[in-house]
Amino acid sequence: MQEWTPQQLQKRLVRYRDLVPCVNAFIDTYTPGSDRKENFTIIGPGVAEHPDQHVHISIPHGFNIGAARQPPGCHNSQHSHDTEEVFVVHSGRWAFRWGHDGSDGEVELGPGDCISLPTGVFRGFENIGEDIGFLFAVLGGDDPGNVHWAPYVFEAARDHGLVLLENGQLVDTTKGEAVPAGLEPMKPTMRADLSAYRRMSKAEMNGCVVLAGQQKSAPTLLAQGATGVRECALIGPANPLEQSPAGTMAWRHGFHVRRLDLGAGATIPLHQRFEQEVLFVHGGEVELSWPGGELALGEGDVMTVPIDMPRGLANRGDRDTVLYVVRGGDRPAAPKWLSPLA
């Protein structure tokens, strides 16, 4: 078994304060109303269209982790993805709208609320709060493909210097970039193409949302020595390997999303996991420990824990800690519990 040093583990930790944004990641990012958004690719290649996008961790996980940060009134234009897209609201008040022009429906979400947006559905989102908002995002697959934009997005971008190519790459002519020889602009989505995209009712979309207040604890794998810990399944089918119930969004995503609540003094003893596991700290602080050391994680930090590495978690603070955990696959293996750290 590989021994991990603190220096090695630091390379798998992305602090909120160290996030590197891209402000021209997509074809709409110079369009008024969308021109103040920041896009983050934390784990995996993501779906950013411009090579300016910084990838923090390139290790394949079977899913991608990203984020968006937007000031009040800033919106992300209507688009669709080829793989599942899940958001957890970290801060701010957000309106998610669906349909090619955003008129099919709207749901408002706040901190801790979670939404899973199905493939083939146009969606967009806007920060409707009074402060800067931050969204934590999960996209399915190692390669989540290209973004499919609604017709109006191409129309609005024409006068703002961005050209989306047929290979999904974005050319920023405002920076002196030119269309490479042999490549053509992407054919815009036409209104005749819209019949190929799914339309959803408000009731259907409500089934894709679990609000923070609905995220109740459930019987889970955290029974062997864990104290002061509650776990809730949000995304993914029931998993007999862990004796875990289905999440509220129980269809297959290629990953599971769970919520962990650790009360003051709560601990999860040393154990191994056998799939990719990513921790996002939504509130409070948590200590990740392993035989080679420990790391303190704070709000907004993202940590990917190596497969097989013995790990434990502890809340050393005096207030509750909330983690959102992404685990790879539709049937994550049960953990192997080990002796507590000395």
pLDDT in tens, 14-33: 999 999 999 999 999 899 99
| Mean of pLDDT values over 216-229 | 64
| Mean of pLDDT values over 34-46 | 96
Residue 174 has pLDDT above 90, yes or no: no
Structural domains in the chain plus CATH codes? 19-210 (2.60.120.10), 215-337 (2.60.120.10)
Residue 225 has pLDDT above 90, yes or no: no
Are 123 and 77 in contact by the 8 Å Cβ rule? The answer is no
Considering only residues 223 and 224, tell me which one the structure prediction assigns the higher pLDDT: 224
pLDDT bracket for residue 13 (50, 70, 90): very high
Residue for token pair 């982790």: 65
Residue 221 has pLDDT above 70, yes or no: no
pLDDT at residue 205 in the model? 97
* Model confidence, pTM: 0.94
Write the CA distances from 52 to 24, 41, 172, 183, integer angstroms.
8, 11, 10, 19
Residue 259 has pLDDT above 80, yes or no: yes
The pLDDT > 90 percentage for the chain reads: 80
pLDDT in tens, 42-56: 999 999 988 899 999
Residue 154 has pLDDT above 80, yes or no: yes
- 161, burial (CB in 10 Å: exposed 0-12, middle 13-18, buried 19+): middle
DSSP secondary structure, 309-333, as one string: --EEEE--SSS-EEEEEEEESSSPP
Length of the chain: 342
Sign (positive or negative) of CA dihedral 17, 19, 23, 27: negative
